[in-house]
Amino acid sequence: MPQCEAADGVTEFREIAIISPGSTKAKPIPMNYPNLSPDPGVNPAEISELAAMIRAGAPLIVIESHDEPHAMALFSELRRLLGRPLFKWTAAQGMRWVERDQPLAGEFKEVEQALAHIRQRRDRGIFMLMDFHPFLNDPVTVRQLREMTRQDEGVHARTLVLVSPELKLPRELEVVARRFQLKPPDRGTLAAMVRAEALRWGNQRGTAVQPLCEEVLNSLINNLEGLAMKDARRLARNAIQDDGVLDESDLPEVMRAKFDLLNPGGILTFELETARFSQVAGMPRLKRWLEIRASVFNASAPPPGLDMPKGMLLLGVQGCGKSLAARAAAGLFGVPLLHLDCGALFNRYHGESERNLRESLRAAELMSPCVLWIDEIEKGLSVSDSDGGTSRRMLGSLLTWMAERKSRVFLAATANDISILPPELVRKGRFDEIFFVDLPDQATREDVLAIHLKRRDLKPQLYPLAELAAATEGFSGAELEHLVVAALYDAHASGDTLSTEHLMAEVQATRPLSVVMAEPIVELRHWASSRAVPA
């Protein structure tokens, strides 16, 4: 592995190496920060926002998050800032006095005891109730909370904080509660965390001083953005622990781990190694269109006067390469591909389908830059009155996201039947362009056959591709691939190598979709001739 040359006198601290492959010099980043600690400080903006809530007299603050350490760090800072005692209650440990790091004498593990103790205190404490959501099903507990959050002479005696991964408040508490969303750490905080983890690793092992490459450090921080601090720290530690060196080879694994953390219920799938346009036959206009936009999409911000590319809709005959083109777009841009399964979005419980879609879109934004591929979009977002309005609400959520998103997420949607898509989805402005992927012409069929023969370690020049292409008029790309596969099976069964006769026999035995479903395909091609751009 290439090493970076250390600059003399950079720092006296032990460091981890962050190295850019292929380079022998790196811009060193010193780590001798006087205030550096293993646990970077919390975001001052969060502290300010929470302090304003408490000073304004918010009696009940709700935080939905898995990141309890982040919430505790925030309120520990607030305790010092506001000079108010801080208590933490869990069903397992009861009530603890945070600044003294000790339980109260009575412990108060039972909910009724804990709430009664909180109610009788007059020290204007802040009480953090962790994982409290199961107890909100009890009407007595809800009533106790409601009474405890009433104003007494315009002054709130206490502040209650409910922290749970998921928390749905009863209506009577929703009106008095203030929701606070924990913010992911900013770039400066992440950089401090990475340096702190590097310093810890070096101190534990007594390693020699190493330089840091700013480019790789920035790439690592890009991949950690959007994660909770506990998750970002864990991924940074995993990247460091194996060999003590952070380089670009560590980034794919960090990206995959980040996706696993963000993926809501397995609805998205992740591909880092995507297709290349060398694997796609034909579609010269689509290739050129994407190449023009690649440099803009890969820039951190678009040049003046240009908008960031939004996406494309690929309409066409089944089996003609729409999905492969969507995957190849990710390969051309050099970014991961996220595949959104529309069928997995739907849930029988009211509101859950829309929530799944919102969380999937949010995950895609946090994974940016990326290509978000929605295959057969008409099957998931065609408007219907038979589902209680779920598809209409999901369509509204998608349209809002498409109009308002600022992140580098390129939407690649494919459809076989555009007639059932709502007009508001396909109007100009939703997608940058609508492409029609037609049945391949003769030259493209030759290319398709050559690609699939090469993929199976066969030499295309040994076969009469022009003759085969002429005989397969009306075949789709998928049908041409099946032709090669089926002919190989026949050759294997007879103990022969693949010959032209095997291929021609399969041509005669195949009835392509353009024959079986001739009428709808003719209608689709007629519709697209004046409404879409040929790919």
DSSP string, 434-502: EEEEPPP-HHHHHHHHHHHHHHTT--GGGS-HHHHHHHTTT--HHHHHHHHHHHHHHHHHTT----HHH
Strands, sheet with 159-164, edge to edge from the N-terminal-most edge strand? 102-103, 94-97, 86-90, 126-130, 159-164, 60-64, 177-179
Q: What tokens were used for 91?
A: 């069903």
Q: Judge contact between 25 and 222, C-beta under 8 A.
A: no
CA distance 369 to 371: 7
The answer on 376 and 322 residing in a single domain is yes
Q: CA of 249: how far to CAs of 5, 155, 176, 207, 214, in Å? A: 19, 57, 50, 21, 15
**pLDDT means over runs of 10, the chain (535 residues):** 35 39 39 37 78 86 86 86 87 84 76 85 86 88 86 64 87 87 80 76 60 69 76 79 66 76 71 64 80 78 75 80 81 82 64 75 80 79 60 77 81 79 74 80 82 83 82 80 84 82 81 74 70 68
pLDDT in the model for residue 225: 75
Examine the domain organization and report whether 480 and 421 are in the same domain.
Answer: no
- pLDDT given for residue 275 in this prediction: 59
Tokens of 22: 């292929």
Specify the 3-state DSSP secondary structure of 103.
strand
**Tokens 């979709």 sit at which residue?**
513
Domain count, the chain: 4
First-last CA distance in the chain: 43
Position 414 scores a pLDDT of 84
User: Are 398 and 358 within one domain?
Assistant: yes
Residues 296 and 370 in one domain: yes
Domain carrying residue 83 = 44-179
| pLDDT at site 313 | 85
Tell whether 297 and 378 lie within a shared domain: yes
**Same-domain pairing of 148 and 294:** no
Residue 309 sits in the same domain as residue 380: yes
CATH of residue 452's domain is: 1.10.8.60
Residue corresponding to tokens 């879409």? 532
Based on the fold, state whether residues 286 and 425 are members of the same structural domain.
yes
- Which residue, 469, 465, 472, 475, is CA-closest to 438? 475
359, part of any domain: yes
For residue 386, the model assigns a pLDDT of: 57
Task: Tell me if 507 is assigned to some domain.
Answer: yes
Q: What is the pTM of this model?
A: 0.63
The pLDDT value recorded for residue 10 is 31
CATH number at residue 306: 3.40.50.300
Examine residue 39 and state whether it is found in any structural domain, yes or no.
no
Q: Looking at the structure, tell me whether residues 58 and 113 fall in a common domain.
A: yes
Token pair, residue 219, equals 């790439």
